[in-house]
Amino acid sequence: MSNAESNKEYWRWTESRYTNPDLNWKDVDIISAGVDVGSVSTQAVIMVDGKIYCYSSMRTGSDSPDSANNAMDWALDGTGLSLDKIQYIVGTGYGRVNVSFAKRAITEIACHARGANFIYGPEIRTVLDMGGQDCKAIRCDQRGKVTAFLMNDKCAAGTGRGMEVFADLLQVHINDVGKMSLEVEEEPEPVSSTCVVFAKSEAVGLLRKGWPKEKVLAAYCSAMAHRVVTLLLRLGIEEKFAITGGIAKNIGVVKRIEDELKLKAPEPSIDPQLAGAIGAALFAKALVEKERKKS
């Protein structure tokens, strides 16, 4: 581990948990949960009758089953609710098959569309999810059902991991990268290499040339924005358009995507990193209802 990583952890974002004080799990019909085990972060969302009751969001550890358990335990913490009272749990995300207590695993594509529909409303037709190790472009209908998708989890360019590499290289905290990248008077040429390995060498060259950090970050954020825009264009964009995932919090990338598309993404009322877990919890609720209809 490099010194910057072990001493300062520039890439580390804040973990969080929440309980809705206005809801009570005791007098509800369906309690459902979704756990999204991403490569970088894990979220557990518990819903009562389709409303968010509590959630947790934390960094995924080296072990997926443990991460799922930890996130679930933390979400339940202090609520008096226990795992056995949850009627249906759906696992999603990269580590979805490792959620031991989930009844079913559903791909993150379907869950993200459903979650974005919940967070941003039924007018959402295109969702861009930028996660820690992947980037997804999804088209959906008014019910949040997927009509087309494209996912890139092969290459680090255009993912949170790529941004972490840059935060670490420039020794800027990951939370500050976006804001700092907007502190340039004039937008520089984007970094020309797509590959993060080559982009990093390119950035080292730019720093050596005397570029300030914010200019280098601007060049990287705009390269990243352009890259995801090309993926979106391959799929076709229909309004309204929303951005979810960790990078949705990076204003430097979001603003540049909006500028290039000439579209504005709505401000989320709920942490967009929860979209996958929310979608999973909603599918869990739908699956309880489906089972009931059958019997």
Partner 1 sequence: MITAGIDCGSKNTKVCIVKEGVVLSTASVLSGFDQEESAEQALKSALEKAGIKREEIEHITATGAGMEAIKFSHNTITTITADARGTYSIFPSARTIIDIGAEEGLVIKIDDKGKVKDFGINEKCAAGAGAFIEAMSRALEVDIENMGELSLKSAKQIPINAQCTIFAESEVVSLIHQKTLKEDIIRAVHDAIADRNTSMVRQIGIEKDVALIGGVANNIGFVDSMNRNLGFGLLVPKDGVAPEYVSALGAALVAQDKIGGY
Partner 2 sequence: MAKANYGYKDGSGEYFITIDTDLCNSCGKCVEVCPAGVLEMAEDELDPLGDEIIATVSDEHRKKIKYSCAPCKPSGEEKELPCVKVCELGAITHSW
Collapsing DSSP to helix, strand or coil, 137 comes out as: strand
- Of 37-45, 118-126, 139-147, 202-210, the window that binds partner 2 (rule: CB under 8 A) is 139-147
Distance CA 135, CA 151 (A): 6
**Which among 124-132, 141-149, 169-177, 209-217 is the span making contact with partner 2, rule CB under 8 A?**
141-149
Between helix 160-170 and helix 213-235 the angle, nearest 10°, is 170
- Report in angstroms how near the CB of residue 190 gets to partner 2 at its nearest: 14
Residue 133 binds: one of partner 1, partner 2, none (C-beta under 5 to 8 A by kind): partner 1
216 binds, among partner 1, partner 2, none (CB under 5 to 8 A by kind): none
Number of neighbouring beta carbons within 10 Å of residue 149: 19
Comparing CB distances to partner 2, the nearer of 33 and 180 is 33
Binding segment (CB under 8 A) for partner 2, from list 48-56, 106-114, 168-176, 177-185:
106-114
Q: Cα(90)–Cα(111) distance, rounded to whole angstroms?
A: 10
User: Which residues between 233 and 292 bind partner 2 (CB under 8 A)?
Assistant: 234-235, 283, 286-287, 290
State which amino acid sits at residue 289: E
Residue 227 binds partner 2 (CB under 8 A): yes
118, 149, 166, 241: residue in contact with partner 2 (rule CB under 8 A): 149
Asked if 136 contacts 109 with a C-beta cutoff of 8 angstroms, the reply is: yes
Which residues 207-226 are close enough to bind partner 2 by CB under 8 A? Answer: none
Q: Which is nearer to partner 1, 5 or 123 (CB)?
A: 5
Interface with partner 2, residue 151, by CB under 8 A: yes
For residues 94 and 106, the answer to whether their CB atoms sit within 8 Å is no
42: amino acid identity, one letter: T
Q: If you compute the radius of gyration of the chain from its CA atoms, what whole number of angstroms results?
A: 19
Q: Which CB sits closer to partner 2, 16 or 152?
A: 152
Q: How many Å apart are CA 142 and CA 159, to the nearest integer?
A: 27
Select 5 or 183, whichever has its Cβ closest to partner 1: 5
Give first-to-last CA distance, the chain, whole Å. 55
Q: Which is nearer to partner 2, 10 or 166 (CB)?
A: 166
Of 8 and 290, the one with the shorter C-beta distance to partner 2 is 290
Beta bridge partners of 241: 126
Mode of pairing for the β-strands spanning 51-59 and 146-152: unpaired
Residue whose pair of structure tokens reads 């960094």 in the numeric block: 59
Interface contacts to partner 2, rule CB under 8 A: 106-107, 109-110, 145-155, 157, 193-195, 198, 227, 230-231, 234-235, 283, 286-287, 290
